[in-house]
Amino acid sequence: MIKFSKEVAAAIADKKSIVALESTIISHGLPRPRNLSVAQEVEAIVRATGAVPATIAILDGEIHVGLEANELDRIANEDGVVKASTRDLAILASTKKSAATTVAATAHIAAMAGISVFATGGLGGVHRGDGFDESADLRGLSVTPIIIVCAGVKSILNVEATLERLETLAVPVLGYKTNKFPGFYLTESGFEIEHRVDSPAEIAAIWNERAGVNTSDSAVIVTNPVKVELDRALHDTLLKNGLAEASTQHITGKAVTPFLLEYFHRVSEGKSLDVNVEIIKSNAKLAADIALAL
C-alpha cells in the first residue's frame, strides 16, 4: 500500500534516520508559489542535519512516503488536492484521488512505514465555541506511536480544552527548553507544561523507556516554541476578526483552520506567514536531531 521515494527506500535499507513531514501545510497552509520553495527548504534542512526527509502524501490513490521532485510539485501546485485525515485513506485509495495528509494521517502512515519522528507546524485540537468540534489529530495521536515535533497547537484553537483532552487521552507533552506551552504564532500560550527536556538525547531516552512501562501506544508530543513570535496585539486582533469573518461566511469543520490561516497571512500582509515558515523550519531541524539521537 506504500510507495517509497528512492531516497527514503535507500534510507530504510541503510538504516538511516528518517523524519516524516506532512503535506497539508504545502497544499493548504501556505500560498503558491512560496509553498513549494518552503517544502524544498524544509527537506534540505533535514538532509543538512544528517537525516532523510519523508514528505507524505496521497497521489492518485497511492500512499507516498517521500516524494520525488515532480511529485512534490504536484502537491504544491495541482488543483483538486484534498485534505485527508485517517478516515479518508481507504476512500482515497478506492477513488484514486490525490490528497495532502493532515497531522493524524501523516502520523498514521509514518508509523505504518516504521518512521518514529515527525515534524509539523502546529497540532489540531479543540475548536473555540460551544459546538463539539475537535480535530482528529488528538484521537490519532492517542493511538499512534510516534514522536511529533510541533509549536504547540494552532493559536486559533481552544488551547486550554486541547491540553485537557491530551491529558484525558494520556498523550505525554514535553516542552523543549521550556515549561511554557507554545502558542504556535506566540512563544507561549499562557499555559504550563509539566515536563521539560533540554536535549534530543533526553527525548530519545524517554522514547526508549516507554516499552518497558507499557506506554508505547501513543505519540509523544515535543513542543518547540517559535524563536520570534508574531506581535501579540496584532495576533489578538487577527484572531478576533478572523473568527468573526469565519462565522459570517459560515465556515465550519475542517475548512476553519485553512480559512483562518489564509486570513492571518493576508491581513497581516505576510507577517504571520513568515512566522509560520520559521516554525516548520525550526521543527524540522529539531526532529532531525531527535531522529539522529534515536
Residues with a catalytic annotation lie at 22, 154
Residue 157 near residue 126, CB atoms below 8 Å:
yes
Question: Beta strands 82-84 and 99-101: pairing type?
Answer: parallel
Residue 273 near residue 234, CB atoms below 8 Å:
no
Residue 21 near residue 123, CB atoms below 8 Å:
no
Report the distance separating Cα 279 and Cα 288, nearest Å: 14
Query: Cis before residue 53, ω within 30 degrees of 0?
Result: no
Hey, which residues does 19 pair with through a beta bridge?
A: 53
Residue 292 near residue 53, CB atoms below 8 Å:
no
Report the distance separating Cα 193 and Cα 182, nearest Å: 9
How many Cβ atoms are within 10 Å of 2's Cβ, its own excluded?
Answer: 13
Residue corresponding to grid cell 515536563: 195
